[in-house]
């Protein structure tokens, strides 16, 4: 067996997992909403992605978060801090999945854990995009520099969405109880998350030469 070919095979499999996680993030809001419209008997559309836990799409929501958590648990970065961040994000993803939010206030203990898990989840993913994915070797390619800009933009968008959601929860939720504002903000954040990981997986702006996963040439 050729060691070089085997290494490349494993590398591309790892990149495929990154792409899969990215596509889960991007498609999840649309799959949940389409599923409710097609398969659920509920008349009201959930106003947040988390509230889909209380719909017929519960298994899809929980399954998607568990799939993301599983990948993050097995994610191996270049330094110890990469692995710590991945494990923390994985724990938060499980917190989102298994501690559902409540359908109405006041928030119970499960809902509080859910909100904290969601906020930390996106903060850690932002940390990945802004600080970890942007690491580079001494001679980065032009495409790598472009990817770094994509990572930073995605990270900033995720942070901005979390801040906007927090402000809405504090000052706007009671005034606009039927607003879809949080759903759209979460959708934007998940899309940014997905684009960041698709880029990391070589789906967007990849180098033309074969990818070796050494010190973030991807």
pTM confidence score: 0.89
Please calculate the CA angle 60-65-71 and round it to the nearest 5 degrees.
125
Q: For position 218, what pLDDT does the model report? A: 47
Residue 72: pLDDT over 50: yes
Which two three-digit tokens encode residue 24? Answer: 């889960």
- The predicted pLDDT at position 78 comes to 77
The yes-or-no verdict on residue 12 having pLDDT over 90 is: no
Interatomic CA distance for residues 141 and 149, integer angstroms: 13
If one counts every other C-beta atom within 10 angstroms of the C-beta of residue 64, the result is 24
What's the pLDDT score for residue 124? Answer: 97
41-47 own/partner pairs: CB under 8 Å, 24+ apart: 45/180, 46/183, 47/177, 47/178, 47/179, 47/180, 47/182, 47/183
What pLDDT, in 10s, does the model give residues 175-211?
Answer: 998 899 999 999 999 999 999 999 999 899 988 554 4
């Amino acid at each position: 067996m050729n060691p070089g070919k085997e290494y490349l095979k494993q590398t591309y499999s790892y990149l495929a997992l990154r792409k899969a996680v990215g596509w889960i993030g991007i498609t999840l809001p649309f799959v949940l909403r389409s599923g409710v419209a097609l398969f659920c008997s509920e008349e009201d559309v959930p106003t947040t992605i988390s509230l889909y836990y209380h719909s017929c799409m519960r298994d899809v929501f929980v399954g998607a978060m568990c799939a993301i958590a599983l990948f993050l648990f097995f994610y191996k970065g270049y330094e110890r801090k990469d692995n710590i961040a991945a494990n923390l994000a994985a724990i938060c993803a499980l917190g989102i999945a298994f501690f559902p939010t409540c359908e109405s206030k006041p928030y119970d203990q499960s809902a509080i854990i859910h909100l904290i898990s969601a906020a930390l989840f996106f903060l850690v993913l932002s940390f990945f995009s802004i600080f970890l994915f942007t690491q580079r070797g001494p001679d980065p390619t032009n495409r790598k520099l472009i990817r770094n800009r994509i990572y930073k933009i995605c990270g900033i968008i995720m942070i901005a969405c979390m801040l906007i959601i927090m402000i809405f929860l504090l000052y706007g939720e009671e005034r606009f109880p039927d607003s879809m504002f949080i759903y759209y903000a979460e959708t934007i954040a998940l899309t940014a998350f997905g684009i960041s990981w698709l880029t990391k997986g070589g789906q967007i702006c990849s180098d033309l030469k074969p990818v070796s996963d050494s010190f973030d040439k991807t």
